[in-house]
Amino acid sequence: MKKIAILLMIIAVLSKASGFLRDITLSFFYGATNTSDAYIISVTITSVLFSLIITGISTAYIPMYKQIEHKGDHQATTIFTNNLINIVLIITTGIILIGLIFSNVLVKLFALGFDGETLKTAVLFTRIGLVGVYFTSITQLLISYLQLNGKFIAPAMIGFPFNLIVILSIFISAQTNVIVLAIGTVIAALFQMLFLFPSLYKTNYRYIPVVHFTDSNIKKMAVIVFPIMIGISIDQINLMVDKTVASTLVEGGISALTYASRLNDFVQGIFVLSFVTVMFPLISSMAAEKNMVDFKSSINEIISSVIIIVIPASFGIMILSEPIVKLLYGHGHFDEKAIDLTSQALFYYSIGMIGYGIREVLNRIFYSFQDTKTPLYSATISVVLNIILNLILSTYMGIGGLALATSISALFCSALLVINLRKKIGSFGLKGYFITFMKVILASSMMVIMVYILYEYVLTGWHTLFKMLTVVSAGSIFYLILITLFKVKETKLLLIFLRRIAHLKKI
């Protein structure tokens, strides 16, 4: 499992790199402007509708599938999967029709500051993009099915065809018509789904046209899904408030916030989601079997990995936020104003990076117990806090205030989840985590001082790319030495992790 997680991390790095190339291409041709804002809002709206339909369903699907499989009825899992896919298609159709009718209202909800041509463009993009919800919904279910059947590689690679087609559509749209942006995104979503078919065929999965709303497993799953969907709705309200406030602050504010958020997501996608993707089916099985010893051991391994990797990454991104943004986005139409806005947002997003990571892990742990209410309650409280902080901090700090509000609420949510998990399963090593956390904070602080001195005073005159590669490499080695000297017990996990990466590269 660990080897698979490491291989997934390598794929995630490459996939995220292609995602960065997509964002860089968008920023190069459109910068942080009304056009990029309109496109990003349309993508956000379709992503929200997709999340409402499928994220909760696919999350609840894995433990339900494992529970059915645990009973020894493989045929029942196939019927359940097909029934769920067909029900999702029916629900998706209804959501898309509603979205087409109220697309103008949706755009205004997500971007109150839009008017004139920006509003018209965003509405048009949204209507085209809604078609892609069909493909993304089915893709997500197929990803879950493949992961349950031990097929992790193809799902991890679907970002490649998607990003390649979007990059191509951005380039063509800049030469022809901006409508190609929206059309290209839909085509990319279709190819994502088709990319999974060869792996799906190898699992012996066969489609069955069955629709049975009253199936007992579907009913049980609906009970689990409902709180997750409410939680997702709350998260989307939070996202809507972020985008709406950003649209009223400054032109290009939505784009700057989005670019920074995606940079922040890079670390999560590589170091957190890779472990979670592999471990979630495993811990779901342990929960179904009530194997608490191995369950707690797995939790310890995941959380420890998040702490020792994400915290130094967040410190490094904070100290290098501006040069990172300049290196990745500071080209073409992405001017100094856009660099400044995006750097501010990235700095403040990075503060909450450990909160995002721990929250993602703990949510999945609760879902493995089919407990969806606890994450819902925690998300509700943290989102209310985020919205209040958004309105206060954005007044004084602009775009940076929105990012800081998100970080504070993520840290608060993760703290609530830790407290509730302790109540649910008893002791799972909190004292050990705290000691590790403090040692990692100290090591990370010393690392960023060294990185800052290197970047600002030692490597002056170097090309930005080589300068960045050098300080990141030096900082990583220095950090590894420090946590070894500080006797961080989880250092062995990191060393094993690095050795396995080296082994995989030799293969």
* Residue among 54, 45, 49, 56 nearest 376 (CA): 56
Residue 16: pLDDT over 90: no
Q: Which residue has the higher pLDDT, 171 or 113?
A: 171
SS3 428: coil
Share of the chain above pLDDT 90, in %: 12
Pairwise CA distance, residues 201 & 208, whole Å? 14
CB 474 within 8 A of CB 454: yes
Pairwise CA distance, residues 40 & 114, whole Å? 13
Residue 445: pLDDT over 90: yes
Residue type at position 155: P
Binned at pLDDT 50, 70 and 90, residue 45 comes out as confident
Tell me the DSSP string of 103-139. HHHHHHHH-TT--HHHHHHHHHHHHHHTTHHHHHHHH
- List, in order, residues 6 or more apart from 282 with CB less than 8 Å away: 1, 298
Pairwise CA distance, residues 7 & 497, whole Å? 10
Q: Which residue has the higher pLDDT, 277 or 77?
A: 77
Residue 167: pLDDT over 90: yes
Pairwise CA distance, residues 297 & 295, whole Å? 5
Helix (H) or strand (E) holding 277: helix 273-289
430: tokens are 């909190």
Overall average pLDDT of the 132-160 stretch: 85
Pairwise CA distance, residues 314 & 321, whole Å? 10
What's the whole-number average pLDDT of the chain? 81
Pairwise CA distance, residues 15 & 19, whole Å? 6
Q: What is the phi/psi pair of residue 480, to 5°?
A: -60, -40
pLDDT, residue 506, reads 45
CB 451 within 8 A of CB 469: no
Pairwise CA distance, residues 282 & 5, whole Å? 12
Over residues 317-328, the pLDDT tens digits come to: 999 888 888 888
pLDDT, residue 26, reads 86
Residue 187: pLDDT over 90: yes
